Every structure is written in structure tokens, then in C-alpha cells.
Amino acid sequence: MLVQERSTPKSQKPFLRNTLPINRFAETKNLDFSTWVSENFYKIVAILVLIATVAGLFFFRNAGYSAALLCFEKEAQELEKIAFPKINWNKIYPITDKTSKFMNFRTDRWIVVSVSSYPSDSLRNAVRVKGWQVLAIGNSRTPLDWELKGAIFLSLDEQAKLGFRVVDYLPYDSYVRKSVGYLFAIQHGAKKIFDFDDRGDVIDGDLGKHFDVELIGEGSRQEVVLQYSHDNLNRTVVNPYVHFGQRSVWPRGLPLENVGEIGHEEFYTEVFGGKQFIQQGISNGLPDVDSVFYFTRKSGLEAFDIRFDEHAPKVALPQGMMVPLNSFNTMYHSPAFWALMLPVSVSTMASDVLRGYWGQRLLWEVGGSVVVYPPTVHRYDRVEAYPFSEEKDLHVNVGRLIKYLVSWRSNKHNLFEKILELSYAMAEEGFWTKKDVELTAAWLQDLLAVGYQQPRLMSLELGRPRANIGHGDRREFIPQKLPSVHLGVEETGTVNYEIANLIRWRKTFGNVVLILHCSGPVERTALEWRLLYGRIFRTVVILSEKKDMDLVVQEGHLDQAYKYLPKIFDQFSSAEGFLFLRDNTILNYWNLLQADKTKLWAMNKVSGSWSSVSTSDKSDRWISHQASMVQKVVSMMPAQYQVSYKETIGNDKNLLICSSEVFFVPRRFISDFVDLVNLVGDLEIHQTVAIPMLFVSMDSQQNFDSVLDTTIYKQNHHTNASTLYSAKVPAVHPLNVSSEQDFIKLIRIMAEGDPLLMELV
């Protein structure tokens, strides 16, 4: 399920070998001045306009009209902000099917599937599921002659003719085009939609045997459902596979820091059924697992065949607790149809998971719940590559997303306004981009246009005092411990060594923001740096000399990089701390676990990195100028900073210089750092001078954490990277990465400390 961006083929000039011959000795044109001017008149005018524009800009700047330029800059900045969509809900006109041959077809049960190749055996079996209509959604890879008796197929051309607004936002080569299918099904009478893929078989060919297809009226089971306990309010996500007998398997979308939670529930509670508007099925064979599990638990080329307890009871999630959802074994009832929208600005393997968490949070607003069911589908492992790069949005952001969603509140008075507000808030927080805000607006309008009625809001239980769970309300269920074939898991239930380490690192640094300054070509390395460090840190903010909006690279000149940090601090106000790193220095994060995240980290004891120079020699004009600016800032410092600085520096004739490739600012020093940077103001104090000045002003060197003291640091190193590198130190400098090939070499040598890195190459 790799996403390939839509690209427009370049037009090619026709080959003229077999057309009319070209006269190589054609008549020479008359080149007198009047003729030349007449033939090139438009070019001359364009050049004159360009010269006038440039001259005007210089005039404005030199004449003191900087306000005009500032106005232009301000407008440019405004364009970068995310605009909140304005929708007139009373002027959304109906969209009816006037083009497809199924315009008069209606049924209330639909199976929606994305197809990229000819019909699979699983899909042929799906069309035999009694009482359900299969809807196959094509993309740019789907064969033009795709056909399956019993299925409705929508090609790209047919999708474009339906008139849905969402079509403008969907990539051509992706399963997220299923959003068109959901709308088509709703337009044609859907009340239940089974989200499915073409590599699984419905067990026994009967969806009604496994899911609660009917929630009310005739055919509904009207039974009490087991529910996870809400006794621990800090528990916001669960691994449902433990409940169904596989405690060493985890679903795609479960935060890695939660993988080690393999104990069974102390007790459950019960809840009346009828509100499980989203029903997640478990898959036997190849369950929904992430690439970390897939690569580390594989036994050669043998396919997975993992089985879950089919007799375990279905289990519900209370408000405040979430579970990963997917797009290939999930039943949606009409009150939750709005939650089917698949985001487009995140990686394909993250799209349905982010949709699931987003939808669960909003489901609480209408009193609905998610219920997980025992095996409903057998899914086949085709032993194909499982792309880690396509999951980057999961491993980097999903834990933070869950916490954000549980804490999110809205004062809007109808569901669609809340949906739009949450989508906008998630874009502001960086979980997806403004493209998904615009997609949400289009999606909601399309829903209304095809006749969907938004559900009424219900009172939210979150934030209200909950009743204590008495012994009489507790229900016990002890899950089976089914064989974990090919999983490399000991009977004690512990996960393997490499996974355990990854979990430990993520727990340690999962709320630390890494700020990486790239001096090299970001277009070749930005993604690679995020893949390398994004698995460990809360997020990776990349600074470079030039801004790149497509790669989400912010502008930050290295010699003044510290001045950009307060803005980043403000962006991530809940982070534990911020670790700055240059791209010519490699961070061995596995050697930082013992560091104190309440202290400053600096390279003050690394030979060649931190030094004190005399300012007595006036021949070095740069040193003298930097020293005078430092003295000016120190003179303006409040007493506590000034005293701390002077105790370290000794006298005004010394200047501290540090190369500052790596340093860490904890949460408790953020306000101090920002205050001191504000004192610097417009003074052009260089990064190598500013960082040591700021650090020793905030705290004494003896209080710095010593974690970086053993860094390998060479000022000029020209030998092979592998001879300089060591996995036993916190950092290594210099190691330059300027291409994908350099990155692959780096990963291979770093794998000594983190073997899972080999899954990236």
C-alpha cells in the first residue's frame, strides 16, 4: 500500500524522422535592428518590467520604506498559516448519481474494498457473502479491464464523474480512494459498511455470525458486552490481542511504549450493547501488525499463521480508552459513517490508524463506542516487504496523538462542527496537514449532499466524576495463552531483546523534541533523519539555511541557530526538553538513557569542543567583537545569571567558545533560555559563543550532566567513517551524511547499537 504522488507526464515532442524533411540550409532571416525589435518585442517588455521591479525593491529598501517590504513578508507568512474552512451548512445542494449504470440501485449492506490488481480469490469469495454488495474502488494501478461478476466497480473515470468534492484531494495511486466508495454506498442506501481488503476471507462466509450487524429491532442480539475497566484513568490505549490469547503480538498503531504491557486484565465491567457503531474484527493468519513486528518476528520466508481465541467474548472500550483500528476488517454503522474518511497527508500505513483514533474520540460525542470482536477474517500473508518508511507517522506521533485526543474538548453545538474543529486542531499540532483540514470540509459537505443525517450530540462522560467500581460490578475473564508460532517469544511473555530496547528508548525520549540543523542537502537527507531519530524522539524538527515547506524544513541559520529555538519551545510547550544536534554529528541515543533530563547537557568537558580564549590580543577582531557583545549582554543580565556567568568565566578577558554540535535544554530551564536570548536581541553573537554564555549563565558547569563527556570529537577528520565511529559513546563528530548512500552506510555501522535499524535499509 505504498503511496505514489500523482504526477503529470511531461509532454514529448513528436519524432520527425519519418515526416517532412528539414531544410538545414533554410533562407537566413533579415537581422536589421527594426526587424529584431519587432520579433522580440514581448521579451524586451518582460525584461524591462523585471528590471523595474528589482530597482523598485532596492529603492524601497534604501529609501527607508521597509514597511512596504515587511507588509509583503507578513502576507507571505499569513499564507503559510492554516485557514479554518468556512462552510455555509444551509447551502449544500444534493448530489445524485446521474452517470453510473447503478443510479437506481439501493441496498443497505455494503462491502467496500480497494483493488489494484485483477480480482483475488478472496474477493471472489466476498461477492458470495449473502446479503452484502461488494463495491470495488479502482486506482491508477488497477487494470483497465477489471471486472468481477457480482461486484460494482468504480474506475478513476467513473469516480471523477460522481461529483464528490473529496475527489480533488485524493492521490491517484492509493487505497485512500475508498473515501469515494463510502460516499457512493451512502448515496445508494447504505446503513452498514464493512471496510475490507482483497487478501482476506470472511470466516464461514457470514458477517452476521461474527459482528453485530443489527443493533436495534429484529435481528439484534440485545446483549450485555464485556468492557475494559476505566478504573485507571491514565490508561488511554490497550492491546486487544492480549484479550484474544496472543499477548506477544501487537496491532499496527499501538504506541511502541505500550508493547510491553502483556498482562491480562485484573477485571472487566459490563455495558449494554446497541451503541457499538464501530466494530473492529480480529484477523487470523496475518493479523494487523506493524513492520517492527513483521521484520523482527519472521522465521525466514515462512508465512505468518497466527491464531486467536475464537471463543473469547467481544470487548468494548469505555470513553477515555482507545484501540488501533484498521481499514480491512471493520464494520461501521450509519451513526459512525462520518468516521470513514481516510486522511491523505500522512503515510499510507498510518492513514487508517489515524482515522481510527480521530474517529474514536469523536464517537464519544454521540454516545457511541468501539467493540473488538473475536476472529472474523482469515488474512493471508503473501510474504511481501513491509515498508517501515510508510509507518513513520505512526512510530513518531501516535502516542502523543492519543494523549492529545483524550484531553481535547470542544464547545461546538453540532457534530460536524466538532469534526471540523478537531481536524483543524490536529493540523495545528502537526498530526496531519492543512490538506486534511480541506479534505474534512469537503467530506462533510459531500456527506450532507448524498443525504446523510448527522447524529445528535450526547453528553460527554470524560471529565465528569465516575462511579467507583464495586466488587459486584466486576467481571473476570482470563485470556488463553495461545502458541506464539514464529514469534521468538519466551514463555515468560517477555518481548525479545531488540524490541525491549526500542520500547525503553521510546519511553525515555518519547517526550523530548530533537532539533536537527542540516548544513547538507535537506532534499536528500530530511526523510532519512526523520526515519532514524523519529522512532525515538517525540518529533524531529529540522532547521536549514533555506526553508523547504514540502519537506517541513524550517529556516534557521547555523551561526544564529539559538535564536530560532524559543519559537520551537513554544510549539511544543508540553515537551520534557529539547536536544539540539548538527547533522555532522551522530547521536548514539542508546547511550543516553542514564542522563538526567532535568539538567543541562553540554560538551564542556570534551577536548577540542569547549575552550576558553583570551580577548587580550586585539589582533583577532572577530574574538574582540564577540567579547564586547557578550559583555554588553552580561551587563544587562539579572543578578542570578550575571553571578553564575562571572563565577565560571573568572574575568572579562576570557571568552568561552563551544562548537555546540550537541546540547540539551530541559523544561525547567526553558524560560531562562528564552529570557537570555531576548537580552541578546539583534546582537550578532555567534552560536559557538552564545551557547556557552547562555549555559553557564543558567547554571554552574558542575551541575551539567556528564552524559556527553565521552563524545568522540575530532576537529578535522578525513579517514573512513567506520574507523572513527564507535557505538559505545554518546556521540561521534564529525560524520557527514549528504546522500542516501551515506545514510545506508551510517545505518549499517549504527546497527551495532540498535540492530532494528537494519530494517530501514
DSSP for 628-696, please give it. HHHHHHHHHS-HHHHHHHHHHH-STTEEEEE--SEEEEEGGGHHHHHHHHHHHTT----HHHHHHHHHH
Return the higher-pLDDT residue of 40 and 4: 40
Neighbours of 614 (CB within 10 A): 12
Between the alpha carbon of residue 694 and those of residues 285, 624, 651, the distances in Å are: 57, 18, 17
Pairing of β 731-733 and β 586-587: antiparallel
Contact status, residue 553 vs residue 541, Cβ threshold 8 Å: no
CA torsion angle for 540, 544, 546, 551 (degrees, to 10)? -20
- Report pLDDT for 277: 97
Task: Kindly state the DSSP code that residue 204 receives in the 8-state scheme.
Answer: G
Region 203-212: mean pLDDT is 94
- pLDDT single digits (tens) 686-714: 999 999 999 999 999 999 999 999 999 98
Mean pLDDT over all residues of the chain? 85
Are the C-beta atoms of 112 and 182 separated by less than 8 Å? yes
Q: Express as a percent the part of the chain with pLDDT over 70.
A: 83
Cα–Cα distance measured from residue 78 to residue 74, given in angstroms and rounded to the nearest whole number: 6
- The grid cell for 105 is 440501485
- Give the model confidence (pLDDT) of 403-441 as tens digits: 999 999 999 999 999 999 999 999 999 899 999 999 999
CA distance linking residue 623 with residue 654, whole number of Å: 10
pLDDT tens, position by position, 642-681: 999 999 988 778 899 998 999 999 999 999 999 999 999 9
Angstrom CA distances, 722 to 247, 570, 582, stand at 40, 38, 19
- Tracing cell 452517470 back to the chain, one arrives at 99
Query: What's the pTM?
Result: 0.67
CA nearest neighbour of 269 among 315, 200, 214, 311? 315
CA-CA-CA-CA torsion sign (325, 330, 335, 340)? positive
What is the Cα–Cα distance from 201 to 283, expressed in whole angstroms? 9
Which among 578, 585, 568 has a CA at the least distance from the CA of 518? 585
Q: Does 560 have pLDDT greater than 60?
A: yes
Report, as an integer, the average pLDDT of 249-266. Answer: 86
pLDDT, one tens digit per residue, over 282-337 is: 999 999 998 888 877 766 667 888 999 999 999 999 999 999 999 999 999 999 99
> Nearest CA to 673 among 755, 578, 549?
578
